[in-house]
Structure 1
Amino acid sequence: MITAGLGVLLLLAATAALAVRYAPIPGHRTLYLVIASPYLMLAAPAAIVVLAWGRRWPLAGLACLLTAVLVAIQVPWFVRVTPDPSSVGVRVMTLNMLYGEADPADMVRVAEGSADILLAQELTPEAVQGLSAAGIQKEFPYRALDARPSSAGVGIYSRYPITYSTRIPGYMLAMVNARVRIPRITHDVSLLSVHLDAPWPRAIDGWHRDLAKLPSTVSEVAAQAGEGAVLIGGDFNSTIDMLPFRQLLANGYQDAARQAGSGRNFTYPANKRYPPVLGIDHVLTRNATAVSTETVEVKGTDHRALLTTIMVPTG
């Protein structure tokens, strides 16, 4: 009876992990459950072992079926997509700077060695000054910034000329759109530096509003870009297990980690004694294909930088 009870509890936990991936997130209780879902999924194979040990074969068979379903929905994130052979590699780095407190010298060091385009969130006026003092303009002479106090600012630094930039209103935090001209690429590449409102620990309403509005914004950016590539990066305050985030992957948009087959990129929190447990920083692509993603520590912030190499077609 003990093994049966434990096995059923494990089955229920894994079933909840599956169900919550396709459910709305009305409040914090559901939010915490979906955050925990990738770890709760591990209850399914554990249930197989427990139920088989107790010779509860029908329940063990159900646990096998549930495990297969959970594995199937994860597999696409580990299968690499082949890029267009006539493409140019563009390296994108996105980083939440924790109220602008990220160490500017370390941030510049990482960006200089790993990026052609830097998308910054929580960019304060003081952080802009710090990055300038650290020499960011040497390798990234072009910029489109909306620096604001506390957590509200964002910005784009680029090795490539910025041909257009604008601020996008209507969100809880700043959002900057720009286009860059890259050698050998026919159409200018559109960029968007994103920081959605946090769903916790404060009220979840701002997050709901931002996520409800973002699909129309990215669709507008896609329409303006036409056949050109679109690269969107930042702190989405959402994991791949959240249905509202996955709904962004439409109209040609793809998650870079899925295209690269690199699975989950855990970026938060990065300032604890334990490794990051959440992947809330993402890069989305359209008319382009990511071939690699990785995370890198930057001193002074609670996020790891997400580095992505994206192949952008020349035509």
Structure 2
Amino acid sequence: MTAPAGLARRAGTRLWNGLLWLAVVGCAVWALVRGVGFDTRTPFAQLVTFTPYVAAFSLVPAVLAAVTRRWRALVAAVVVVVAFGFFVVPRVLPSGSPSGDRLRVVAFNTKLGAGSVSSFAALVRAAKPDVVMVQELTPEWAAEFSALGLFPYSALRALPGASGTGIWARYPLTDSRTVDPKSGFDQTFALLRRPGKPVLEVISAHPRPPIFKPEEFGSVARWTGDLSRLPRASRSGPVRIMAGDFNASLDHSPFRKLVGSGYVDAAAEVGKGLVPTWPMNGNKAPPVTLDHVLVDSRGDAFSFDAHTIPGSDHRAVSAGLVLRA
């Protein structure tokens, strides 16, 4: 082998090792940010949403290190893969065998009222939910859906733009109010009174998004503030159900803190925690899971599905819940 050829080979080896370690370290840094919850500032609040994609990519440097016998890189890569597995895998593993009082819930973000009312109504007729919770509820959308007469009861806080929310139900809704007047969006709270059964608390959830421009309706600080204002889970009082567009995934530490207070995420409970819900309208961003159905620890889930509705960038989500209290 000539000297130039040997130099070229060594340079190629160093380049390969550098790229391999760069991939391993990059994935490790991402796992660290996600693991310690360093996601309450830009750009981490936006990027951490894509953790499931990075988790899948983390397998690549592990496989390449094994194939090329870079043992130290392999050990480091496997540690990173295990960390991501700890974060992500539980969402695809069904848990529990729920039984009890059943309730069906549907939630939908209309995208400023652009979501097809007729398509959503078809979903409602097929799913037969007891409660429907809608976000970005405009007065026009609310009037058109209400006119269909699918539900006898409602608690609506319809507003222009993204701020409105509402609840429709098969049973009486009372004590309607906003969750917290300090929240940027008007998140509707109501008591669901089912004849002969315990009263339930229901909330149409829609915290502001962690967008980049604080002069607009969202920012990371406002996002974390809105999430913190949603009620923590409790084992006293009525069973609480929150559903809607939380503008957060299970990789966001503020949302994990909310769920960790004692809520069950219906999708994760039935092994569908990676089913994407946004964006579903041709947007080039990889789809992620921002729409959730939560029930406090006195409940469980037996089903979950996501449904594309023309006109909206969010999928509607439906869940079957069981209530033990």
Q: TM-score scaled to structure 1, two decimals?
A: 0.89
Report whether the alignment pairs 1:142 with 2:156.
Answer: no
Pairing of 1:138-287 with structure 2 (within 5 A): 139-168=150-179, 169-183=181-195, 185=197, 187-203=198-214, 206-219=219-232, 222=233, 226-272=236-282, 277-286=287-296, 287=298
Give CA-to-partner distance per residue, 1:127-152, whole Å, 9 cap, x none: 1121133x1x2x31110000000111
- For structure 1, list consecutive stretches of 5 or more residues without a partner in the other structure: none
Would you say the 8 A contact 1:6–1:50 is kept in 2? no
How much has 1:14 moved relative to structure 2?
A: 1.5
Question: Partner amino acid for 1:58?
Answer: R
1:110-169 CA-partner distances (Å, limit 9, x unpaired): 112212211100101111121133x1x2x3111000000011100001112213322231
Distance 1:303 1:108 in 2: 16
Q: CA–CA distance in 1 between the matches of 2:302 and 2:285?
A: 24
Which piece of structure 1 moves more, 92-101 or 33-42? 33-42
Letter paired with 1:15? A
Q: Please give the alpha-carbon distance, in whole angstroms, between the structure 2 residues aligned to 1:276 and 1:24.
A: 22
Q: 2:47 — aligned with what?
A: 33
Q: 3-state SS of the aligned residue for 1:36?
A: helix
How far off is 1:247 after superposition? 0.8
CA deviation after TM superposition for structure 1 residue 227, in Å: 4.5
Shift of 1:26: 4.3
- CA contact under 8 A between 2:184 and 2:226: conserved in structure 1? no
Count matched residues: 306
When residues 174 and 241 of structure 1 are mapped into structure 2, their CA distance, relative to the original with a 3 A threshold, is same
What amino acid maps onto 2:320 in structure 1?
Answer: T
Identical counterparts, % of pairs:
28
* 2:131 counterpart letter in structure 1: I
Q: CA deviation at 1:15?
A: 0.8
Residue number in structure 2 paired with 1:17:
30
Does the aligned pair in 2 maintain the 1:153–1:173 contact within 8 Å? yes
Stretch moving more, 112-121 or 201-210: 201-210
Larger radius of gyration: 2
Deviations 1:212-235 (A, max 9, x none): 35445413xx55x83432110111
Report matched runs for 1:75-154 at 5 Å: 75-85=89-99, 87-114=100-127, 115-133=129-147, 135=148, 137=149, 139-154=150-165
The structural deviation recorded for 1:274 is 6.6
Distance in 2 (alpha carbons) for counterparts of 1:232 and 1:27 = 25
Rounded Cα–Cα distance in structure 2 between residues aligned with 1:259 and 1:227? 23
Distance 2:121 2:254 in 1: 33
Match 1:74 to one of 55, 70, 88: 88
Assess if the C-alpha contact under 8 Å between 1:103 and 1:299 holds in 2.
Answer: yes
Q: 1:6 aligns with which of 9, 15, 19?
A: 19
Counterpart amino acid of 1:177?
A: F
> For the structure 1 residues 245 and 104, does the alpha-carbon distance in structure 2 shift closer, same or farther, using more than 3 Å as the test?
same
Contact 2:24 2:61 in 1 (8 A): yes
Residues 71-129 of structure 1 deviation map (CA, whole Å, 9 limit, x = unaligned): 122232223232553x1221111111011111111111111221221110010111112
2:58 paired with 1:44: yes
Q: Label 1:172 to 1:206 Cα distance change in 2 as closer, same or farther (>3 A).
A: farther
- Contact 1:270–1:297 (CA under 8 A) maintained in structure 2: yes
Deviates more, 1:146-155 or 1:3-12: 3-12
Q: CA deviation at 1:181?
A: 2.1
Q: Quick one: distance in 1 between partners of 2:113 and 2:218?
A: 25
- Letter of the 2:117 partner, please give it: P
Q: TM-score, normalised by structure 2?
A: 0.87
Q: Which residue in 1 is equivalent to 2:70? A: 56
Code of the aligned partner of 1:34: V
Deviation of 1:42 (Å): 2.4
Q: Distance in 2 between matches of 1:13 and 1:43?
A: 11
Equivalents in 2 of 1:215, 1:29: separation in Å?
Answer: 20
Q: In terms of mean alpha carbon deviation, does 210-219 or 153-162 score higher?
A: 210-219
Matched position secondary structure for 1:248: helix
